[in-house]
Chains A and B, each alone.
Chain A
């Protein structure tokens, strides 16, 4: 999915983050700071006041779990509510509302989940299997008009597509309560990443009696939501509120492991102002800061946390263009940009050069090995090779000069990036002329949809922890393809990873690796540029801060405040 994060830079970076944020999250920690997070902290080291002040970059658009589409909603829901499973400090899927990991039938299309019996809603009702069934049905019910309901369930949860098309009843959805504490989930096909998939907030339970009693007022403010997670919201005046408060939920089944008593949230959309508030001691955690100028103020400080998020930015090449239809020309373009200089000198925020399609520190195989560590990298910058390919390509299409329209964003970061790319390409490839169109986010999406571009700079963050969230983008005729890319071999590999290889993780992984090689090395269908880094400031007294790669950005429940 597209991420959008926003003065001009802010606006741009904000826009980028909204889009991207909906789909992305943190990943395994690379920062040294969190290395000690698993070590228990001695009581004596804890500060007397276990209270945290957090700045966030946006309001919470909704607390109705079936309507959420953005990372602020997901992060807050992850703190105050709970589904069957959640991601732990090491990004492993662990039981939460469930008693244990699911049991599968032979072909892995049916999951049986036993729920824990001590889970309670904040009104005292027990959390039962019926609450899950109700929420899932509500998410897919066309009357609810959920965006993520159909997006997540169709093709995966049994009958979801048919319900969306009104060919089946909502009650036919592949989730049934066998008794109060046993759920049976039926899938359309085996899904290798189903366990992490259903940690997503969309799959959280909802208390039918409460939701229906509130009617239109459901989730309109803190008093109109029920909580079953580590925290409960004690202050939130609704989606326009720029201030909200979470307090420890004493009736949470894991309450004894939650140390924080209170978290105060405020919205700050200006990164420099957020850094100022942090410096003045008014905030313990800042929002993500993308600007090199701000990050450099904290270079080398133990307050600055930096990690790669699984969001990749790339140049799409529209094969409707005669020159770009030629594979050698595309390869030449992909090899001509000095990506290392781009991340080191232009972005200067810890982002890394992307010689790959599936990001680092995001998808792990059954042994826990990073997808990236089990396969090659592609499209390493090589300007000499690029020039040869360029000349060969030009000869093949019978052109001497190529003029291309390059569509990019209108934020400061985008503009400098685009200027750099143009300079690199035009210098490396004689006869190439780029015209940059810097346009607002919505216009860029529009032009991408209409394929009104030759080269287009865009990005994508994952919706779930599997390479498929990237791989299925460029299937022939896919909704996100929009560059006329088509390779039957790629299609076949990706589709078999979706279907017949679904239960064979090792072969599936190989198929995905092969597909990545085809799209980058063989076809150079798109030219990845960089994987984005997150930078944020955290007070060193905050121990146990955890970030995630998809769904919610962070988990607060393991945080402890240390004595200074």
Chain B
């Protein structure tokens, strides 16, 4: 097990290196400069500014300098937020995004797995159709529509919740629901398909033959096996939820990362683009590793040994 994890960590470092390199060069292809009024300045003034921030060096030099600093943990300073260190910016902004993402993930996974399970158990009944309906809506209607509707009816009209901003737990409810619709639908669809397949398998028939109760079969045997593919998709989904949703954060005025990432690209804020991308990449590889390790607990057949997954 330890050997396996060590090996995976080495792969992770290589992956991160590749991601950082590709991002670096792609980012430099975006036209424009990080200075807001750059085109107003004379060429002489422009050169002075570029030199000060090392943006006039040849690309390989800039790349080498960036990688060197990144390894030391220095992600540089943001241009749009006047000289705020990128690490500080990420630290300030990841909180709300992560809380919201986690809540949406927990709500989405639990509710989705529940919906998918009962749909499979009551296959071809109105319960099944109802849950499929919810799943289709959740997947096809964009989150900004849900967000807008929730905000308008539950906050503006009924005053049950605050309209926007980020000041306490009650402020997280509407955005969490809006954000959870997608994971609900994903979890419900996967769960239903898997459950139906598992319920038709030989060992379930055997369990029935042994006289196990229906409840026991569903929870102990079927659910556990059906969870594997669901965990596979939910892992990466958790990362994308936790790193912030541009749309939800905008609508509910949440000081998160999603909005920030898009804006950094728009404004050629190179250090922030790099910093955010590296953070996302780290979260992804870590979550994928955790998911792989989790498999072993969910399904004893997939025990990891000697660096291989069987």
Contact with B along A146-190 (1 / 0, CB 8 A): 011011001000000000110000000000000000000000000
Contact indicator A19/B36 (Cβ below 8 Å): yes
Contact indicator B38/A59 (Cβ below 8 Å): no
With A59-B81, A239-B82, A276-B156 already in contact, the answer to whether A150 and B162 are too (CB < 8 A) is no
Contact indicator B266/A280 (Cβ below 8 Å): no
Out of B89, B250, B255, which one reaches A270, CB within 8 Å? B250
Contact indicator B84/A449 (Cβ below 8 Å): no
Counting chain A CB atoms within 10 Å of each CB, the highest count among B45, B48, B152 belongs to: B45
Set of chain A residues within 8 Å of B159, measured between Cβ atoms: 280
* Size bin of chain B's contact surface: 35 or more
Contact indicator A268/B82 (Cβ below 8 Å): no
Contact indicator B84/A150 (Cβ below 8 Å): no
Cα–Cα distance between A136 and B268 once the two chains are bound (Å): 28
Q: Please give me the residue from chain B that is nearest to A10 by CB atom.
A: B250
Contact indicator B163/A280 (Cβ below 8 Å): yes
**How distant is B150 from chain A, measured CB to nearest CB, in Å?**
11
Set of chain A residues within 8 Å of B52, measured between Cβ atoms: 145
**How distant is A21 from chain B, measured CB to nearest CB, in Å?**
10
Contact indicator A282/B81 (Cβ below 8 Å): no
Set of chain A residues within 8 Å of B165, measured between Cβ atoms: 243, 266, 268, 277, 282
Out of A62, A164, A237, A480, which one reaches B44, CB within 8 Å? A164
Indicate whether B207 reaches chain A with its CB closer than 8 angstroms: no
Indicate whether B60 reaches chain A with its CB closer than 8 angstroms: no
CB interface residues, A 259-288, toward B, < 8 Å: 266-270, 272-273, 276-277, 279-280, 282
Out of B82, B89, B163, which one reaches A273, CB within 8 Å? B163
Cα–Cα distance between A64 and B259 once the two chains are bound (Å): 24
Contact indicator A479/B36 (Cβ below 8 Å): no
What is the total of A-B residue contacts with beta carbons within 8 Å? 143
Out of A2, A241, A273, which one reaches B39, CB within 8 Å? A2
With A273-B253, A445-B32 already in contact, the answer to whether A237 and B92 are too (CB < 8 A) is yes
With A59-B81, A273-B252, A445-B31 already in contact, the answer to whether A22 and B164 are too (CB < 8 A) is no
Q: Please give me the residue from chain B that is nearest to A277 by CB atom.
A: B163
Indicate whether B247 reaches chain A with its CB closer than 8 angstroms: yes
**How distant is A88 from chain B, measured CB to nearest CB, in Å?**
27
* Size bin of chain A's contact surface: 35 or more
Set of chain B residues within 8 Å of A1, measured between Cβ atoms: 37, 40
Out of A18, A19, A238, A267, which one reaches B253, CB within 8 Å? A267
Out of A64, A147, A268, A442, which one reaches B30, CB within 8 Å? A442
Contact indicator A147/B38 (Cβ below 8 Å): yes
Set of chain B residues within 8 Å of A273, measured between Cβ atoms: 148, 151, 163-164, 250-253
Cα–Cα distance between A69 and B82 once the two chains are bound (Å): 10
Set of chain B residues within 8 Å of A62, measured between Cβ atoms: 82
Indicate whether B189 reaches chain A with its CB closer than 8 angstroms: no
Contact indicator A268/B39 (Cβ below 8 Å): no
Q: Please give me the residue from chain B that is nearest to A447 by CB atom.
A: B31
Counting chain B CB atoms within 10 Å of each CB, the highest count among A18, A145, A220, A440 belongs to: A145
Not counting A59-B81, A273-B252, a sample of 14 additional A-B residue pairs whose C-beta atoms are within 8 angstroms of each other reads A11-B262, A18-B36, A18-B267, A19-B36, A164-B44, A165-B44, A240-B84, A242-B253, A270-B251, A273-B250, A280-B156, A282-B165, A445-B32, A480-B39
Name 17 A/B residue pairs within 8 A (Cβ), A-sorted: A6-B266, A18-B267, A55-B253, A67-B82, A147-B49, A150-B45, A154-B42, A238-B81, A239-B82, A240-B93, A266-B165, A270-B250, A273-B163, A276-B164, A277-B164, A282-B164, A479-B42
Chain A interface residues toward B at CB < 8 A: 1-2, 6-7, 10-11, 15, 18-19, 22, 55, 59, 61-62, 64, 67, 69-70, 142, 145, 147-148, 150-151, 154, 164-165, 216, 219-220, 237-243, 266-270, 272-273, 276-277, 279-280, 282, 440-443, 445-446, 449, 479-480
